[in-house]
């Protein structure tokens, strides 16, 4: 292994760039410097599976020509609300849908399918699974990204997902260690403080991570949140704490793989010229890879700052060497795996699995009105109402999904009109909608995170007074039911992906009986 400190520092960086083909700046970096690899994101690097395969292949060729070790390519293909690889790939419903099935074997199959598709595109790391537990229903950045709020269920499903993903030659990343489910603020903007004591962490937050480590996950992603039970302070995040990254993750839990930061452009981490302090602290804490976003000036500043820190002996040379050895071992593991044919991406087998997950996750919470299965006269008029999809957090690609509730129900009954409302419908919009819906025979009202804002509940509660048979559907987090308890027939889909809404329609009309179980506690 090379001993030049510039090479050692380069291998510890995961960069990002804006380009569907390799930008000249990135090719120049590869030609003249070392690099761990690159994170790929839907808005900046994706148009189709074939394009990503060509992009990663071109960069791997550049690395070989420069005498570099094979590159790491990572992305956030979680499923559900966050799919960094878009149209053309199989869009699985995501973790909370899996949580509703309580089936580790299904989680393993989904993980493997995601892995095969990523590997075919040249991506060898997935930033998943999310192992945070959604113990705080008002956590602004988690929701359906979690398997649920039960440690045992999340541990079983997460471990199986890891095994499935890695069986396809793609490394899994356990995140966000050591568990940010209780966060009340989004770490993209501000540092959360997880104030639980050690006993609570051992009982709730940590079992999924322990199971993921035991399953052989190759990477662990740090959480940008303070955790005083492990550090003794709320002054700084776990990412920069040696007591978390080295003493706890490696010492107590025995994790021997690669530790990577969450994105370093988040508000929970110092930004601007002071950012290098947190990055040096993260390296000293025992973190291996720095996840740096697109800004070229930031990349240069952190690369040069870490090199300077090394020459000033702020970084321990033996520690850096050991860290780079772990990174090289990961590169070798990834490079040894055969690349599947691109035809596996979106193949019929994976689409069938997508439908299976969607159907098995549909959860009937209650049918006090006895509406199901629906038996409608041919001329009965059905109104399907849902908010326009939007990205509710930076870790969200929901805005790319076309509203599908009306089309899904229309496949089972011909006389269906769809109404797509604002995500935050105004009182005027609600009043106009009430007037338009007065003549319908059935309402299907979908909500998206209604529990986090007052406008959607106001709309649903107003429409429930129409005295029209109504089915309400929580299409993202299940907590929405608590905001309109007057609903007498209620289901959860955990996803607005077309497959999930097709499954909902099939369940409504009796093609199958829903078997999903709520993976979180919900009142209402």
* Cα-based distances in Å from 17 to 7, 40, 41, 125: 20, 8, 9, 17
What is the 3 state secondary structure string of 394-462?
CCCCHHHCCCCHHHHHHCCCCCEEEEEECCCCCHHHHHHHHHHHCCCCEEEEEECCHHHCCHHHHHHHH
Tell me what the mean pLDDT of segment 425-451 comes to.
Answer: 96
Task: Give the class (CATH, top level) of 5-343.
Answer: alpha beta
Q: What is the DSSP string of 384-397?
A: EEEEPP---SSS--
Looking at 262, 278, 288, 396, which residue is catalytic? 262
Strand pairing partners for 221? 260
The residue to which tokens 């993750």 are assigned? 249
Task: For residues 24 and 29, give the distance between their C-alpha atoms in angstroms, rounded to a whole number.
Answer: 9
User: Please, which pLDDT band fits residue 3 given cuts at 50, 70 and 90?
Assistant: low
In this prediction the pTM is 0.95
> Strand order in 470-474's β-sheet?
363-367, 489-492, 470-474, 442-447, 382-387, 416-421
What is residue 187's predicted lDDT score, i.e. its pLDDT? 78
The tens digit of pLDDT for each residue in 37-73 reads: 999 999 999 999 999 999 999 999 999 999 999 999 9
Structure tokens at 292: 């740096």
The pLDDT of residue 524 is: 58
- Residues 123-157 have pLDDT tens digits of 999 999 999 999 999 988 899 999 999 999 999 99
Backbone angles phi, psi at 378, to 5 degrees: -55, -35
Residue 222: its pLDDT value, please? 94
Split at pLDDT 50, 70, 90, the class of 1 is very low
Q: Is the pLDDT of residue 503 over 50?
A: yes
Q: Which residue has the higher pLDDT, 283 or 267?
A: 283
Residues 6+ apart with CB under 8 A from 79: 91, 92, 93, 94, 95, 97, 110, 114
Q: In the prediction, which pLDDT does 5 show? A: 86
Average pLDDT, the chain: 95
Question: Which homologous superfamily is 362-508 in?
Answer: Glycoside hydrolase family 3 C-terminal domain (3.40.50.1700)
Q: Is residue 262 annotated as a catalytic residue, yes or no?
A: yes
| Phi/psi at 317 (5° precision) | -60, -40
Q: Look at residue 141 in the predicted model and tell me its pLDDT.
A: 84
Q: In this model, does residue 523 exceed pLDDT 80?
A: no
Q: Tell me the average pLDDT across 448-477.
A: 96
* pLDDT tens digits along 301-330: 999 999 999 999 999 999 999 999 999 999
Neighbours of 64 (CB within 10 A): 13
The answer, yes or no, to whether residue 2 has pLDDT greater than 60, is no
- The rounded percent of the chain whose pLDDT value lies above 90 is 91
**Domain locations in the chain?**
5-343, 362-508
CA distance 228 to 251: 18
DSSP designation for 478: G
How large is the average pLDDT for residues 26-43? 97
**Cross-strand partners of 77:** 83
Q: Which of 188, 196, 423, 424 is catalytic?
A: 188
């Amino acid at each position: 292994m090379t001993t030049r400190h510039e090479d050692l520092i380069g291998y510890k960086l995961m960069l990002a760039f804006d380009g569907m083909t390799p930008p000249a700046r990135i090719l120049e970096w590869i030609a003249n410097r070392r690099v761990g690899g690159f994170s790929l994101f839907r808005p900046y690097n994706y148009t189709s599976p074939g394009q990503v395969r060509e992009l990663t292949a071109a960069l791997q060729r550049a690395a070989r020509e420069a005498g570099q070790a094979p590159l790491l390519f990572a992305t956030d293909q979680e499923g559900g609300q966050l799919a960094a690889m878009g149209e053309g790939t199989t869009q699985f419903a995501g973790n909370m849908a899996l949580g509703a099935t309580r089936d580790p074997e299904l989680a393993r199959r989904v993980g493997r399918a995601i892995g095969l598709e990523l590997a075919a595109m040249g991506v060898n790391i997935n930033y998943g699974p999310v192992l945070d537990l959604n113990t705080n229903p008002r956590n602004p950045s988690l929701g359906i990204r979690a398997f649920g709020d039960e440690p045992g269920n999340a541990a079983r499903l997460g471990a199986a997902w890891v095994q499935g993903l890695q069986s396809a030659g793609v490394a899994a990343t356990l995140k966000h260690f050591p568990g940010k489910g209780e966060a009340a603020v989004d770490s993209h903007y501000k540092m959360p403080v997880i104030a639980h004591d050690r006993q609570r962490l051992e009982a709730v937050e940590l079992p999924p991570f322990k199971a993921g480590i035991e399953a052989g996950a190759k990477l662990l992603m740090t959480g940008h949140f303070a955790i005083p039970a492990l550090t003794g302070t709320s002054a700084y995040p776990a990412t920069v704490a040696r007591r978390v990254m080295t003493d706890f993750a490696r010492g107590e839990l025995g994790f021997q793989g690669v530790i990577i930061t969450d994105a370093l452009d988040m508000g929970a981490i110092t930004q601007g010229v002071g950012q290098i302090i947190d990055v040096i602290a993260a390296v000293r804490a025992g973190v291996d890879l720095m996840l740096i976003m697109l800004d070229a000036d930031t990349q240069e500043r952190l690369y040069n700052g870490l090199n300077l820190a090394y020459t000033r002996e702020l970084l321990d040379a033996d520690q850096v060497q050991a860290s780079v050895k772990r990174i090289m071992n990961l590169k070798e593991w990834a490079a040894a795996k055969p690349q599947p044919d691109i035809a596996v991406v979106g193949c019929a087998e994976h689409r069938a699995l997508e439908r299976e997950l969607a159907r098995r996750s549909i959860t009937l919470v209650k049918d006090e009105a006895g509406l199901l299965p629906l038996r409608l006269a041919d001329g009965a008029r059905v109104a399907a109402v849902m908010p326009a999809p939007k990205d509710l957090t930076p870790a969200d690609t929901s805005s790319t999904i076309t509203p599908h509730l009306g089309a899904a129900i229309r496949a089972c009954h011909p006389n269906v009109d769809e109404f797509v409302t604002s995500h935050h419908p105004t009182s005027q919009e609600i009043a106009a909608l009430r007037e338009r819906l007065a003549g319908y025979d059935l309402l299907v009202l979908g909500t998206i995170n209604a529990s986090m804002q007052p406008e959607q509940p106001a709309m649903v509660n107003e429409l429930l007074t129409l005295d029209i048979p109504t089915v309400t559907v929580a299409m993202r987090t299940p907590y929405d039911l608590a905001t309109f308890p007057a609903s007498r027939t209620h289901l959860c889909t955990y996803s607005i992906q077309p497959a999930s809404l097709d499954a909902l329609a099939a369940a409504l009309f009796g093609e199958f009986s829903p078997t999903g179980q709520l993976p979180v506690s919900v009142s209402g």
